[in-house]
Every structure is written in C-alpha cells, then in structure tokens.
Amino acid sequence: MDIVVLLLQQNIIMFLYLMIGYFLYRNKLLTSTGSAELGKMLLYVVMPVAIVKSYIQTYSAEMLVGFLISFAAAALALILSMIISTLVFGRRDAVRQFGAAFSNAGFIGIPLVQMTLGDGAVFYVASFVALLNILQWTYGILIMTKDRSAISLKKLRTNPILIAFLIGMCLFFLPIELPAALAGMVATIASMNGPLAMIVLGAYLAQVPLIELVKDPDTYLCTAVRLLVIPILTMLLLTLLPGKYQMIRMAVLLAASAPVGSNVAIFAQLFGANYRNAVKDVCLSTLCSILTMPLILAAANLLWTHI
C-alpha cells in the first residue's frame, strides 16, 4: 500500500499547486490571458520535453517489449474509454462525450506517474499520452464538429506531443546520447510539468463560481464516468496482463484514472461548443480525482496481488 499512500501525498501536493493558481487568479496576479499563455507553454514546450525525457533510455530487448506492451495496453484502454463515453453521452452532449473519453494524462498523469512510480515508468505512459493526443485531434474533432472535413492531417503532423513522441523514439532506438548539459536542461524543464499544469488548472477553477460545480447533474455524471466507471473497467482490462508487467499496469491505470483533460475546454472554444460546461467538468473532476485516484490504485493493488 506504500504506493497508494505516496500517490495520496502527491495528490495533496498537486492540490496545493492548484490553490496557488486559484489564489493568483482571484487576487488578479494572473489573468485569463496569462493562464492561457501558460497553458500554451505547457502544451508546446514542457509536456513535449517531458515525453522526450522519458525515452532517454538505454535500448534493450526488454525495454522494447515493455514499450510494445504499454502501447497496446494504452490503445485498448483508450478504445474502452471512447466506447463508454459514447454509450453514456452519445450524441446528446459532445462536450461531455469528449471529456469523459480523454483524461488529463499529460498534465496530471505524467507527473503523478513520475512521482509515484519513478522516472522509468514515464516511458510506459508516454505512449498513452501520444495516442490520446492523436485521438483528440481526429476522433475528438469529429465528436465536436460532426464534420469529417474538420479533421486536419496538417495539424496532426505539427502536433507537439506527436513530434515529441517521434523524437523520443529516435533517441530510444538510435545510439544517440545527449550532452550532459542538454540532458540536464531537459530534466529541469520536464520537472515543471506537474506544478505548472496544476497552477493553470487552479486559474481555470477560479474562473467558475463554485456553486456551478455542484448544481449541474451532467457535470457529476461526466466526473463519475471519467473517475470511476472508466478506471474500474480499465483496471479489469489490465488484469489480463501478467503480473511481471505490474509497472506497466500501474502506469497505464494512473493515466486512465486522471480527471477530464483540460483540452476539452480548448476544443470547446475552438469549435463553438459549450466552453463553460467543459471548464466545470475539468474543475470538478480534478478536485475529486485527489481522492478517487488513490482509491482506484488501492483497489488495483488489492486485485492484482490476489490473482
């Protein structure tokens, strides 16, 4: 249970970062424009660097097998989440369908995996984040617009997460070693991912009256599907993996248990959907995930140690 306690401790730390963002916005020390620009820095610099860092590994056949298994597990977990979100929300609410399907695996999943399972485990969750971004810019856009022509392959090719994933693959498969100074810089930037992401989410939270988070039934439903239904079914799915791949199971489950991804708000603004509902879903699910993620991990620990 040590890992569960560690995750709870890290979630409390993440909550404190969230409160910093909330305080900064409420006291006019951070504006909505400023938080949006910090979000862009996360998307275009910090998170891609964190993904690249995860692939700075010494190549081995064992690592290759681990990568392939984690990639397959991530694909199955994401397909499962898309099926569940479609069954629950279908065509009646595109924002909730998108939000329930795609977790905040990049902004929250990566730092939590890093802090609870170690740097090596980020290698296994990077595939999840890359696949999630590809699906958001294809299937996700289709959900939001109901228009296949809105899917842009050019945008997909220039997606910073996908580019980082490809660079990481090159670093992993090719005999390339970064200079010590550059490797140190990469590690420093990657370490900004968790604190900066939560500060930005705190600023989002400060923009929504708290009463709105507790009076919308669909916000509760989206939060329950994202934080309970999908993670529990993902946990059962990952039970199919042999016990020797415990770190992969834990890394993928943590990514799948993360709250509603903040990209749903960005996409809602971009395509004229209900932005306010998107922000409410992100904020409520982020607050609730502080308790639900350790509970899901505790349940997985109990299940996987008794089979």
**pLDDT (tens digit, 9 = 90+) per residue, 134-169?**
898 888 888 888 877 767 777 778 888 889 989 988
pLDDT digits over 173-225, tens only? 887 888 889 989 998 998 888 888 889 888 888 888 878 777 889 999 999 99
Tell me the C-alpha distance between 244 and 249, whole Å.
10
Q: What is the rounded distance in angstroms from the CA atom of residue 151 to the CA atom of residue 142?
A: 7
What φ, ψ does residue 103 adopt, rounded to 5°?
Answer: -80, 170
Provide the residue count of the chain: 307
Nearest to residue 47, comparing CAs of 172, 157, 164? 164
Give 64-120 pLDDT, tens digit per residue: 999 999 999 999 999 999 999 999 998 789 999 999 999 988 878 888 888 888 878
Q: Does residue 130 contact residue 161 with C-beta atoms inside 8 Å?
A: yes
Question: Alpha-carbon distance 109 to 127, whole Å?
Answer: 12
Pick the CATH number of 2-304 from 1.10.246, 3.10.580, 1.20.1530, 3.30.1490: 1.20.1530
Tokens 């056949």, located at residue: 61
pTM (2 d.p.): 0.88
Report the distance separating Cα 114 and Cα 260, nearest Å.
19
Report domain extents, the chain.
2-304
